[in-house]
Amino acid sequence: MSAPFPFRADDLTLAAMNDVVHTLHPKVDVANFEVRETFLFGSGQVSTAGRIALNVTYEGEGAAELPREVVLKVVRPELGALPLYANEVSFYTRLRPELGAHVETPRCVGGIHDATTGTFGLALEDLRTRGATFSNVKTPHSIADMHSLLGSAARLHAGYWESPRFARDLRWVQTHVDGELHAFFEHPDLVPALIRQQVADVQFKRELVQSIGQTPDTLHAQVRRVQAHQARLPRTIVHGDMHAGNTYRLPDGTGGLVDWQLSVRGFCMHDVTYLLITGLSVEQRRRHDRELLAYYLDRLRAAGVGSAPDPDAAFLEYRRAVAWCVYVGWLTTPIENYGWEITVMNHVRLLTAYRDLETAAAIASLPEA
């Protein structure tokens, strides 16, 4: 790319859109596009990336197969060159094509990332054309809804379970313990500093952290310890950020996943834990988490994973994985990203689970490295 990819709708050009589309469809050109709406930071719908909804007209071989209504993800320039952007473009352009219909997630029209400027453009189908409704922590989720999402997670995890490809063509996929994403989350001036500031400045965060007898620094140490431990367990491709707000529901009840910025090689309970705790009310989670874990493990075995963890081992790792969900998942998140109620409810569910599941004790029981 000779210039940063535009992040304002008014600056989009045919040349920029063609740069995106040609990454996956070199024989298709964008003949025209029309901006329908934009989603900006502060609207309660935007976290780390902006979105521009477009109507697109294509021409060329294969043009008829591409979605005409597209959502273009772009940078939030005030956040700088986040490694999350490059990672999501890599997922959608390198991994998404081989997932097919096994995992319900948006079709990708194309994606491009400029390493020099940190800008990107990622064109995805507008799921609203398929009648999708988007979830968050305020959305009621039935057990059937959770079965659909857990089934999708199991198919994703089974497809890459201890894959020999991690030593070959999938070596580029990062992990929770190395790579640019890990460096970003561990750099003392970045995520740890943001969390300390959030806890210091936002009273409900501060008091909720105090209620579990922890501090940002002790939670950070717990996360590092769990990640080092779970890196020695069977690895697969994980979504990485599977909270309720990154899910959607189709009219037939099928659950899908969006926002793959944190997808890495990791342990399956990283995804399952975050989904169960944010997707269920406190009462639902207390009543149903073990049976839902059993359902997930059954789906994992049905998909061919003979080395799936047993229920007791899975439950123990589920308890430990809560630390990341609390620390990175929502202590990092300013209220402005999703609004007051969604932000508070996520914190309440996660910190209640941390207490209920005795996460600190489960982590303390790990052998010293």
Cβ neighbours of residue 202 closer than 8 Å, sequence gap 6 or more: 335
Cα–Cα dist 146/280, whole Å? 9
**Phi/psi at 256 (5° precision):** -130, 170
| % of the chain exceeding 90 in pLDDT | 90
Question: How is 334-354 classified by DSSP, letter by letter?
Answer: -HHHH-HHHHHHHHHHHHHHH
For the chain, give the mean pLDDT.
95
> Average of pLDDT values for 30-38?
95
Q: Which has the minimum average pLDDT: 93-97, 144-148, 166-170, 334-338?
A: 334-338
Question: How is 226-246 classified by DSSP, letter by letter?
Answer: HHHHHTTSPPEEE-S---GGG
Q: What is the pTM of this model?
A: 0.95
> Average of pLDDT values for 325-347?
94
Cα–Cα dist 201/316, whole Å? 33
Predicted pLDDT of residue 76: 85
Domains of the chain: 9-129 (3.30.200.20), 131-364 (3.90.1200.10)
Question: Which pLDDT band holds residue 2 (cuts at 50, 70, 90)?
Answer: low
Cα–Cα dist 173/189, whole Å? 25
Predicted pLDDT of residue 368: 82
Question: Which pLDDT band holds residue 156 (cuts at 50, 70, 90)?
Answer: very high
- Quickly tell me which residue has 């639902």 as its tokens: 284
> Average of pLDDT values for 262-277?
98
Name the nearest CA neighbour of 249 among 342, 147, 124: 147
Predicted pLDDT of residue 145: 97
> Average of pLDDT values for 252-264?
97
**What would the pLDDT profile of 75-115 be if each residue is shown by its tens digit?**
987 777 889 999 999 999 999 999 988 999 999 999 999 99
Predicted pLDDT of residue 1: 46
- Quickly tell me which residue has 């002790």 as its tokens: 218
Q: Which residues pair with 51 in a beta bridge?
A: 39, 73
> Average of pLDDT values for 249-254?
97
